[in-house]
Amino acid sequence: MAGNMSRLGGKLCGWVVIAAIAGGALIAAADDRALAEETPSPGVMTQQAEPAPPAAAAPAPEFRPGSEFLADLAERLLGSVVNISTSQKIESSRGIPMPDIPEGSPFRDFFEDFFDRQGQPDRPRRVQSLGSGFVIDAEGTIITNHHVIEDADEIVVNFTDGTKLSAELVGRDPKTDIAMLRVKPAAPLKAVGFGDSDTTRVGNWVMAIGNPFGLGGTVTVGIVSARNRNIDVGPYDNFIQTDASINLGNSGGPLFNLKGEVIGINTAIFSRSGGSVGIAFAVPSNLAKTVVAQLAEFGETRRGWLGVRIQEVTEEIAESLGMDRARGALIAGVNDDGPAAGSGIEPGDVVISFDGRRVNEMRDLPRIVADTEPDKEVDVVILRDGEERTFKVVTGRLEESERTEATEEKDQPQEGAESVTVLGLELAPMSDELRQQYKIDEKIDGVVVTAVAPDSNAAERDIVPGIVIVEVAQERVKTPSDVVKRIEEMKKQDRRSVLLLLSDASGELRYVALRIES
């Protein structure tokens, strides 16, 4: 999928423009039914009517043929959406390298003279790019995508009335692909506001306005196709998916609900051709609002940081930990210098709640932690040995240079046990020879995998010779016999799988659940 995922702000050079005409239109109508009052005829006795109940609020407009609803909405919103053009100066390079001609060849002087003339001088050229954006306050603040203005030397904002204004960059956040610009208008601008993307439902109608292929002010309509999409383009993926027609150049433009509120920022499409196939993705407004507020105040983002390395809780891992179902985020390691160090949180714990917010799956935790302001004391609820425990942690600040890596173990190696085979793994005690053979870091301690049965569950889990087993069922192991003992204990508890903490030669940790053979 990654190879077909396209950002929507494309360079103009080299693009093949694909035009698409939609057959049919989506239209709406308000309920125009009227209630007629019935007047009794003269001389006819009528019974006293019961008092009428209070009038109910008028229902929201429904889609009906013949309505001007969408046209009115588009007319109201078009003035708040802008086209963004950028230019970037890049250095040209000689396109054809000189062939390798042997010294002394009669052709060498000829080729040197020819290629010297071709390369004199290399002149810089300018590359143009187009995208979209929208106004969020009358004074001139505009939101777009980071990739629309990335590396730009000049940014120009084009309004629907023909006005063109130079823009300055206020701040950017590559992790969510959001950027904030500022222009200085002669008169107040028409702004739009953010809506609540959390209340958006699959099937809700949405309207996209933007600058596809540089055509300007283009309106398309569709529905919300899905929510909470992870498309592997950033650490906080939580996209709204829509089938509204969105193409290259729509990047940074707004996705509106029928109230005219921005519920998403159009960012990427899934396409093999570069044109719309009805699968587009928008950054949800509730994620964008936090980033926008920080960019406005600080010119940068200030995210919370926990200092742990996590991985997914699979069904096998959940069973091996005695959990009723797979949920939460499994702690694979704790950074020595991170906020979680010393809090009591340990590798093997499963985080199910952070600062009062549930962690349903692994990818929820980084997003929730990032939304938390630095230096805040929070409650972290974890599962350990089948029981819930709560720890207090003061969040740090996530800097660009910091990474949530696992703690390297510092115990000294222990030798003197015999090799064994279990669960398709041939195991040996750590030794200087094995360290040298597999280039295992001196800080890593445990039991070394020296062979893996090709048809085993271990092979399916990508365990290879040179991997070190650090823990079995959340207890440290020093010898192959320790591994066998812990597996037997799990069998007695009727566990169908056992959890292993593995380390590669560099110290990178991960958890793997292996089926216990009967």
Per-residue model confidence (pLDDT) at position 111: 60
Does 146 participate in catalysis according to the annotation?
no
- The domains located in the chain, with CATH, are 5-9+64-90+124-301 (2.40.10.120), 310-397 (2.30.42.10), 420-515 (2.30.42.10)
CA–CA separation, 410 and 53 (whole Å): 76
Could you identify the residue written with the tokens 């019961």?
Answer: 50
Closest to 169 in 3D by CA, of 187, 186, 181, 157: 181
Amino acid letter at 453?
A
- Work out the pLDDT band at 113, boundaries 50, 70, 90: low
- The active-site residue out of 132, 146, 147, 197 is 147
- The active-site residue out of 80, 132, 177, 320 is 177
How many CB atoms within 10 Å of residue 16? 7
Per-residue model confidence (pLDDT) at position 4: 58
Task: Please answer whether residues 130 and 149 qualify as being in contact, where contact means their C-beta atoms are separated by less than 8 angstroms.
Answer: no
Is the pLDDT higher at 139 or at 56?
A: 139
Taking the CA atoms of residue 46, residue 52, residue 56 and residue 58 in that order, the dihedral angle to the nearest 10 degrees is 30
Average pLDDT, integer, range 286-313: 92
Q: How far apart are the first and last CA of the chain?
A: 39
Does 251 participate in catalysis according to the annotation?
yes
DSSP string, 445-458: -SEEEEEE-TTSHH
CA–CA separation, 320 and 513 (whole Å): 7
pTM of the model: 0.65
Query: What tens digit of pLDDT does each residue of 382-410 get?
Result: 999 889 999 999 999 986 434 433 333 33
Collect all residues with Cβ–Cβ distance below 8 Å to 101 and sequence separation of at least 6.
Answer: 107, 108, 111
Per-residue model confidence (pLDDT) at position 270: 86
Q: How far is CA 252 from the centre of its chain?
A: 16
Per-residue model confidence (pLDDT) at position 467: 93
For residue 158, pLDDT over 50 is answered with: yes
Query: What tens digit of pLDDT does each residue of 216-241 get?
Result: 899 999 999 999 998 877 788 899 99
Query: What tens digit of pLDDT does each residue of 441-488 get?
Result: 888 999 999 999 888 888 888 899 999 999 888 888 988 888 988 888
Does 177 participate in catalysis according to the annotation?
yes
Per-residue model confidence (pLDDT) at position 230: 86
Closest to 263 in 3D by CA, of 369, 173, 170, 192: 192
Closest to 190 in 3D by CA, of 143, 145, 134: 134
- The active-site residue out of 129, 197, 245, 251 is 251
HSE-CB for 234 with a 13 A CA cutoff: 22
